[in-house]
Copies of this chain bind each other. A is one copy, B any other.
Amino acid sequence: MKKSALQIARAAYQPKLPVELTGSVTVVEGNPTQSVADQEDIKKLFPNTYGLPEIRFEKSSKNIVGKPVNAGVILSGGQAPGGHNVICGLFDGLKKINKESRLYGFLMGPGGLVDHKYIELTADIIDEYRNTGGFDIIGSGRTKLEKKEQFDKGLEILKQLDITALVIIGGDDSNTNAAVLAEYYKEIGAGVQVIGCPKTIDGDLKNEVIETSFGFDTATKTYSELIGNIQRDCYSAKKYWHFIKLMGRSASHIALECALQTQPNVCIISEEVEEKNMTLQDVVNYVADIVAKRAENGDNFGTVLIPEGLIEFIPAMKNLIAELNDLLAKTPEFASWTPAEQREFVIKSLSNNSSTVYASLPEGVARQLTLDRDPHGNVQVSLIETEKLLSEMVGNRLKELAAEGKYTGKFSPLHHFFGYEGRCAAPSNFDADYCYALGYNAALLINAGVTGYMSSLRNLTKPSVQWLAGGIPISMMFNMERRHGEMKPVIQKALVRLDGTPFQRFAAKRADWALSTAYVFPGPIQYFGPAEVCDQPTKTLQYEHLDK
């Protein structure tokens, strides 16, 4: 492929490693660890990899040296900026330890391991991908590595290629599965180490020991660029309300970070909506009140950030969707009725609460809830255009307010959804450094002979040369959760903490931002300019460090 001028210039960027990783390292073991909850259950499930110590790497004066090793790498799940640099760092680390080492990439996600699809990643290939966005070096996929048969099938190709270490780059689910795989290979004496790397633009894979997942920095900066541009347009034209939905179904970190970066008039945080047991109408009224108050000041324009997963965090909507799934599953004749008959049936058959919620929805959305169903017969919540749903309901609410004489403004909404625009952006300096260090560090964990660990860098608000490197036993992040009716050991997903500093800072400011128009315009990610422009970590990371 033809390279853009930026790609060519960026190829020359040398990510800055933590100073501890620039030569040989000494492995320093901490105390045995415990899982964050359900210790007894998890210990039983992971007899071979539970309770391992945290590992710190410290600089050693010796020359770096180790055995040659054949390693495999897998990209799992949705794209995140910097994935290529994890692989580049891993490659460079392996080669630094021993020139004879080799790296294989399994193609199109975990499925490539099971189906024995792979390429060898040579220096020529690696050099094409340094500091680039995307996962296209080997592709990614959503196959879940969960079953013994998959593990055994995978082991065949690992044995065939003499691979003794596997690095899985993924989100909370993929790292959960990495730990299960590590335990299994240890148990059967397969002789294959498994190391995880924390990836997801959603920012929901983080905890006491993992400060952030990679990709969150670049993705939120890309979305903030666009939100800032829209806000400048909004403030220049002074006639539109922009409803902007942001990717991230399971947590609102992206919306929160973008709000901290751009200071919009409204930002909805799903976790707060759930915590306060708000209804959809409550959310609508909250937005409509701000629209009305701004109109009193003559400001018939504004911006609203909406996390993609909002609907699923609203308790009443969650109930409605669950009831609809049940109702329609046992009413196969439903599809043959007219829309009017369907609507009447639904309203009649649901519980009182859900029926009221259903009847209050704009008809198009209500109909969508009964039409688009996934292969399991469930409502496809991700297809609901929440930004349009919300603006339509806000419009209706404003008509009510107008009838009561409480609103005399003009309401012209526009809609945006940002997601795919940020997942494969060229990594920011932060993500380029972080990812490269995660991969390089994974090579050192392989050389240290451990398994079931996640590659870890800490102290991330400092310049990268001061980061602390090591490994965290993945089982340390586990608790038991019900999944498809069964209790399973999983990494706790990090939701937005309402008592955390990032949310608290937002909450303290939002009333002011709502009325005063305090937009910030961050502009596009810069790679070559002054440090204060190019090298700042996210506000989320900066504020979370204040909590430590």
A residues whose Cβ falls under 8 Å from a Cβ of B? 1-10, 79, 108, 132-136, 139-140, 222, 225-226, 228-230, 232-238, 242, 263, 414, 416, 420-426, 517-530, 532-533, 536
Contact = CB atoms under 8 A, between A and B. Distances in A.
Contacts of A517: 1
A392 B420 CA distance: 20
Nearest to A4: B522
Nearest to A228: B4
A221 to B, nearest CB: 9
A491 to B, nearest CB: 23
A228 B523 CA distance: 17
Contacts of A230: 420-421, 424
A528 B525 contact: no
Contacts of A536: 5
17 contacts: A4-B523, A5-B530, A6-B526, A8-B532, A134-B232, A136-B235, A136-B236, A139-B236, A139-B238, A140-B237, A230-B421, A234-B420, A236-B424, A416-B420, A416-B421, A426-B521, A528-B530
A536 B6 CA distance: 11
B135 A236 contact: yes
A421 B140 CA distance: 29
Contacts of A136: 232, 235-236
Given A225-B524, A229-B133, A527-B526, A238 B108 contact: yes
Given A79-B236, A236-B135, A529-B528, A422 B229 contact: yes
A6 B420 contact: no
Contacts of A528: 526, 528-530, 533
Contact of A423 (B4, B9, B228, B233): B233
Contacts of A6: 521-524, 526, 529, 533
Nearest to A536: B5
Contact of A9 (B2, B135, B424, B533): B533
A6 B524 CA distance: 8
Contacts of A530: 5, 9, 528
Contacts of A423: 229, 233
A197 B263 CA distance: 33
Nearest to A138: B236
A424 B521 CA distance: 10
B235 A134 contact: yes
Q: Which of A423, A426, A521, A532 has the most CB of B within 10 A?
A: A521
Contacts of A4: 228, 520-523
A249 to B, nearest CB: 16
Contacts of A8: 532
A363 to B, nearest CB: 13
A2 B420 contact: no
A272 to B, nearest CB: 24
Contacts of A425: 229, 523-524
A463 B181 CA distance: 58
Given A9-B530, A236-B424, A416-B420, A519 B1 contact: yes
B424 A232 contact: yes
Given A225-B524, A238-B108, A526-B527, A233 B5 contact: no
Nearest to A7: B521
Contact of A518 (B1, B234, B416, B533): B1
Contact of A532 (B9, B134, B234): B9
B232 A521 contact: no
Nearest to A529: B528
A224 B246 CA distance: 20
A532 B523 CA distance: 20
Contacts of A526: 6, 524, 526-528
B416 A242 contact: no
A362 B13 CA distance: 50
A2 B132 CA distance: 32
Nearest to A225: B524
Nearest to A238: B139
